Amino acid sequence: MTIQNELKGKRGVAILHDPLLNKGTSFTETERDALGLRGLLPPKITSQAQQVEKILSNIRRKATDLDKYTYLVSLQERNAALFYRVVMDNLSEMMPIIYTPTVGQACQKYALIFRRPQGLFISSNDRGRIKELLGNWPHTDVRMIVVTDGERILGLGDLGSCGMGIPVGKLSLYTACAGLPPEQCLPVMLDVGTNNQALRDDPLYIGLAQERLRGPAYDELVEEFVTAVHEIFPKACIQFEDFGNTNAFRMLRKYRDRVCTFNDDIQGTAGVVLSGLYSSLRLTGGKLADKTFLFLGAGEAGVGICNLIVQALVAEGVSEAAARAQCWLVDSHGLVTKSRTDLAEHKLPYAHDHAPMPDLLAAVEAIKPWALIGVSGQAASFTEPVVKAMARVNARPLVFALSNPTSKAECTAEEAYTWTEGRAIFASGSPFAPVTLNGTTHVSGQGNNSYIFPGVGLGVLASESTRVTDEMFFVAAKTLASLVTEEDLAMGRVYPDLQRIREVSAKIAVAVAEVVFARKLTSMPHPADIASYVLAQMYQPEYEQYV
């Protein structure tokens, strides 16, 4: 951010009300005089470190995680640098507050806690003037947009406009985890209504209290949005987030070869799971090409993970048909097989010849998978018989309970370790505390997309790529797995320590940028030292001297 450009003649209260400019009590005597701040602040000048100490003290006194979330959002709205300093220096503590699992509660209560707009609300009533609405955003160099229509928020379902907490949270992680400048980030809610009757009946609901828009009218709205973004913010990447299955797959197919876009639920989730599988091989032995994978959940995440696993297996010399045959899906009607006539299009590539299996336990006993991966949003669906069945056919069973928030996890860390006598390799979407069993402490990995999408986004933006490809998520997964240490594995964790996330994101960004240059997806010249160049692009939440 160029401070002088952002100031643009602002003085006094206008500066204090701009979160990108405000330093609170850290403004110097010289700045207070030159910028008309004298008298608007208490006389004592404090350092950012002192401010951080006060913020942490206030947060830790809050009674609930939702109270902490609300406090942090308020801080973000008034002082962005201080917010990111607090989050980045205390990531393991703050990330579960600003994102999963607390963001799920925040979305459910969003109408009550909403204070100031942190992004754009574009409704179906705005058709014909979306370009105008984008022009209302105060920052002109937007590079990363996260957009949702609120239909499938985490495992919570249709939350309509209350789903705005997800784009806001995702973009906070882009900055905290990968250093995307906050002024280049734009959260967007496409409000097309909601089929959640409770929300429509709630007089405090902040969105359109009508049934969801469907069909051509919906597609026309999305088309207008994508076209307007390309015109107003030509260097922007659009991340589709938490759309319903049908629209998510359609939108990805429609736009991925036309604009710079991806779907984190389909592609980002796939990257983080594939990375966890690579890391797990270091504990179980063997090759990915020899393994079988069973998924509970056959929507965006499940099919997206299968697609990337297939790409990985093909890279190891497996034919595409054989690779697909190693991936099995279980949905709400049982095992996905060719004999079923009720399958959506995205499930068909993974419908195999097999006798019908009515439930997950039967599927585990029949398929005998190496890895059981939950992306169903169905809490407690990895029951004790299911997990024990996995333990019977694997010395080290992989149990990935990835549904968010924590309340939707297919099983807990304690359950997975207890039911397998400590032999499970466990990962979850939201964090679980370490589990001590028979004198051994197990620290599970958090298989959260935040290990993948920030680094991919940084690589795409740093290289000014015109597209986002599956290959980028493949190299991101390989890079992430390579950063897991022997110490991580020894405690049972198949992902790096979360406090290393900026290092992780930077290395993923370099790998992604190399793909961009190799595939000629940019007109930008290749930097002499791509790693140094990427690091130089990363935002640091430090106060600048204004005068």
Predicted pLDDT of residue 4: 67
- Catalytic choice (23, 68, 84, 170): 170
Q: 57: which 2 tokens?
A: 């003290």
Give all strands of the β-sheet with 237-240 in edge-to-edge order.
120-123, 185-191, 144-148, 237-240, 261-263
**Mean pLDDT, rounded, of the chain:** 96
| Predicted TM-score (pTM) of this structure | 0.95
Closest C-alpha to 202, from 153, 160, 150: 160
- Catalytic choice (99, 174, 543, 546): 99
Percent of the chain with pLDDT over 70: 99
Return the sign of the alpha-carbon dihedral for residues 306, 311, 314, 320.
Answer: positive
CB 511 within 8 A of CB 479: yes
Q: Residue 502, SS3?
A: helix
CB under 8 Å to 250, separation ≥6 — which residues? none
Helical segments of 17-98, H only? 29-34, 48-60, 65-78, 80-89, 91-98
The string over 231-240, giving b where at least 16 C-beta atoms fall within 10 Å of a residue's C-beta and e elsewhere, is: ebbeebbbbb
Q: pLDDT digit string (tens) for 24-64?
A: 999 999 999 999 999 999 999 999 999 999 999 999 999 99
Q: What is the DSSP letter of 162?
A: G
Alpha carbon 112 to its chain's center: 24
CB under 8 Å to 254, separation ≥6 — which residues? none
235 labelled catalytic:
no
CA pair distance 272, 276, nearest whole angstrom: 6
Closest C-alpha to 207, from 128, 156, 132, 150: 150
Q: pLDDT digit string (tens) for 239-272?
A: 999 999 989 999 999 999 999 999 999 999 999 9
pLDDT average, residue stretch 326-340: 96
Using 50, 70 and 90 to split pLDDT, how confident is the model at 9?
A: confident
Is the pLDDT at 348 greater than 70, yes or no? yes
Q: Which fold has domain 47-259?
A: Rossmann fold (3.40.50)
507 labelled catalytic:
no
DSSP H or E stretch at residue 441: strand 440-442
Alpha carbon 541 to its chain's center: 21
Q: pLDDT digit string (tens) for 196-227?
A: 999 999 999 999 999 999 999 999 999 999 99
Q: pLDDT digit string (tens) for 460-496?
A: 999 999 999 999 999 999 999 999 999 999 999 999 9
pLDDT average, residue stretch 75-100: 96
* Spans of all domains in the chain: 47-259
The amino acid occupying position 449 is N
Predicted pLDDT of residue 2: 61
Alpha-carbon torsion angle 89, 93, 95, 96, nearest 10: 180
